[in-house]
Amino acid sequence: METEKQEPSPSLESGLPSPIYLVTAHLAVVVAVIHVTLGLYNWIRWASAGFLVPRDLRWPLFVFSGLALLVGLLLAAQGRYRRPLYLGGIGLMAVYVLGYFGWHAEGHRPLFFIGEGSGHTGPLVPFLLDHLFAGPVEFLAIVSEVALAVLLLYLLISE
């Protein structure tokens, strides 16, 4: 009797990781690029006005959190600290999404929820939907952050 040769799976043959890892990594890069770019752009605007530490602390935090996301991606790609990195990524995505809507709902206060803000009136759900669809960058950021959190949760559970 002849024995049948089994073909190796395409993912093993190519040496590429599973598609879930590739999609997750790409989403992490998208989220990081959005936050680093927005953070640097606005932080430089503050610095050009003479404020090294801007009144609006979101911008330096965007830069540092985006860079931290890239460092986490590099560590995860090396197979190091994956579970803690997944948890940290999920937490960071929650901070991004909840912070975005919370900051707008609280009236754009300069120190997040502290300080003088402009109040918003009207029902909360239409207000939040208006901010979700405020522009292409905002929409891409929120969708990417939520999708990344879901994929990181899946990886955390499945590994």
Digit-coded pLDDT (tens) for 58-67: 889 999 999 9
**pLDDT-derived band of residue 9, with 50, 70 and 90 as boundaries?**
very low
Helix, strand or coil, per DSSP, at residue 6: coil
Say if CB 152 and CB 25 are below 8 A apart: no
Tokens 């609006």 correspond to: 56
pTM, to two decimals = 0.79
**Considering Cα of 56, then 61, then 64, then 70, what sign does the dihedral take?**
negative
Block residue for tokens 């598609």: 19
Q: Indicate whether 95 pLDDT > 80.
A: yes
Q: Which residues contact 61 (CB under 8 A, 6 or more apart)?
A: 39
Residue 37: pLDDT over 50: yes
What's the mean pLDDT when you consider all of the chain? 84
Confidence tier at 46 by pLDDT (50, 70, 90): confident
Q: Which residues pair with 106 in a beta bridge?
A: none
